[in-house]
Amino acid sequence: MKRKYYPIHSDFAPLAKLNPPLNRAVLPAMQKSMSALWNLEKSGDGVTVTKLQIPLDKKKSMRAILYSPEGSSGKLPCLVYYHGGGFVFNAAPYHFLNAREYCRGAKCHVLFVDYRLAPRHKFPAALDDAFRAYRWTQMNSEELNIDFKRIAVGGDSAGGSLAASVCQMARDYGAAVPCGQLLVYPCTDVRMKTDSVKRFNDTPMCNSRDMAKYIKLYIPNLAHLPMEERVYASPAEALSLKGLPSAYVETAEFDCLHDEGLEYAGRLEDFGVNVTVHETKGTIHGYDFMSKSPIVWESMQKRIAFLCRIFKIDGK
């Protein structure tokens, strides 16, 4: 299929024809290959790396990395972070780089979560892992030198969906809600009904055709999910967003998820939530891939500024 022309910024030209393969036959091999990146994470550049195991049950556990500012002491805030990848791909190199940037820039711990992936592990496996990691961080905050009152959640794309849903689950289940939610080009609405979904069916990195495949791999029984479960797969469908924490919502211009990100931000504001919106221009979904782009750098500074505000770093 011939792609339509989009005035994408030249910084992202190397991604102009890239869309991840979503063939069930190749996904296991890709997951295994990408999983190995985990082993490359080492302490350095002002960040201390600690590999952890979060218990899932008596026999199973989930990998996590705790990034900490080098030489830090006392209790620090913590960002529990969920990487993107359509619920089917492991963390990419830029996800690990971003975790380090958040750690250094916001002077905080970052708990980077290796949640289970579709299609082998279908909904709600990833969300169960995400919520468990958040609650585990709370319950082990003393041992981890984390300030219990300054734990936020964040994620990009599919990870943004998990972060938004964790906030709702914490509220609904009577747990202490995060102090903030960092949502970078998040997937918030599986109904796929927005104008940007209809317009961007051939954009690079992720488009509406890709999203339909991701959703089918992650939630094959979507049509039969009872609403009390569906709202956590599709956080925009929640009847109430009251009582949720301050949010940062970032969107990409040529992204099928663009409109649902803005709509979710608007609904949060309607329920009295303080929201910071950053609409990037000339961008495509997953533009963080080009980590040296000035556009990415500017976005990173805005994300870090949000974290500093909710963590009350340096009086911000």
| Catalytic (active-site) positions | 157, 255, 285
Q: How many CA atoms lie within 13 A of 86 on its CB side?
A: 24
Pairing, β 61-69 against β 47-55: antiparallel
Tokens of 198: 């209809």
Handedness of CA 119, 181, 187, 97 (dihedral sign): negative
Cα 316 to Cα 304: distance, rounded to the nearest angstrom: 11
Residue with token string 């468990």: 132
Examine residue 124 and say whether the peptide bond preceding it is cis (omega within 30 degrees of 0).
Answer: yes
For residue 195, how many other CB atoms are within 10 A of its CB? 10
Cα separations in angstroms, 50 against 53, 117, 151: 10, 22, 18
Cα 247 to Cα 151: distance, rounded to the nearest angstrom: 13
Helix (H, G, I), strand (E, B) or coil at 219: coil
Cα 21 to Cα 7: distance, rounded to the nearest angstrom: 24
